[in-house]
Amino acid sequence: MPRYKIIIEYDGTGFVGWQRQTNGLAIQAVLEGAIFAASGEQVVVHGAGRTDAGVHASGQVGHFDLTRHWRLDRLRDAINAHMRAHRIAVLDAQSVSDEFEARFSAIRRSYIYRLVNRRAPGTFDRGYAWYIRRRLDADAMQEAAQRLLGRHDFSTFRASECQANSPVRTLEHFSVVQTGDRIDIHAKARSFLHHQVRSMVGSLEHVGSGKWSADDLEEALHARDRARCGVVAPACGLYLVGVDYDDAEEALAPNRP
């Protein structure tokens, strides 16, 4: 069966998250419904990251199988035609090998968390960033962020309902970049624990506001205790911006359009 990889962009507002659930509308369910409407086939769209309710994406990746070959631009456009009522878009469709899996083949996931640091209320970024009125020290946040780099037990920054087998993760990149009143926090790792990015960002906010020092953040990490975490940053500021794969895993299948 032909396997297709799609790059997906969505506004997570109003959705229960990526994964199909019984308590509301999920991104996955909308995509599967659109593919059925376009192709007449029931599929499961497997995503690279199970983003939570309210989390956005500009580079989510999914894969699914169909019984017949599609011209890739037509497949993309047909799916999008059946999602016009939703703020979800398939940016690209690719034909991939049968070994490719959006989730398990991924070697890196990249997130950005957006804060807006000003006293004036939100306008354009309302619902798409965490607005913080008190002045934050972005330089102190950047210095503290480096304490979390590397391989650690991230139990402090792990949601109590996290289902991962191990709290150990390797944080490859964690940086704080300020441009005017906007502060973007970039995080990259092979995988993240449930609520890990939002928990780390909320703890960095404590550093930026002067409540914590960089040493306090590092001590919280090593405590491996959820009670030592700072606040959990709101979902609206988090974006899944990219998923990386090994070239061999992602290779186009031979003789596919």
Per annotation, catalytic residue among 52, 77, 92, 246: 52
Asked about 244 being catalytic, the answer comes back as: no
CA angle 37, 41, 44 (to 5 degrees): 100
Q: Which residues of 123-141 are buried (b: 16+ CB within 10 A; e: fewer)?
A: eebebbbbbbeeebbbebb
126: Cβ–Cβ under 8 A, 6 or more apart, which residues?
none
Hey, how many other C-beta atoms are within 10 angstroms of the C-beta on 216?
17
For residue 68, what are its two tokens?
Answer: 């017949």
For residue 182, what are its two tokens?
Answer: 């906007």
Determine the Cα–Cα distance for residues 13 and 131; give it in Å rounded to an integer.
16
Q: Are strands 106-117 and 130-132 parallel, antiparallel or unpaired?
A: parallel
174: Cβ–Cβ under 8 A, 6 or more apart, which residues?
145, 146, 148, 149, 185, 186, 187, 188, 200
Determine the Cα–Cα distance for residues 34 and 6; give it in Å rounded to an integer.
13
List residues with catalytic annotation.
52
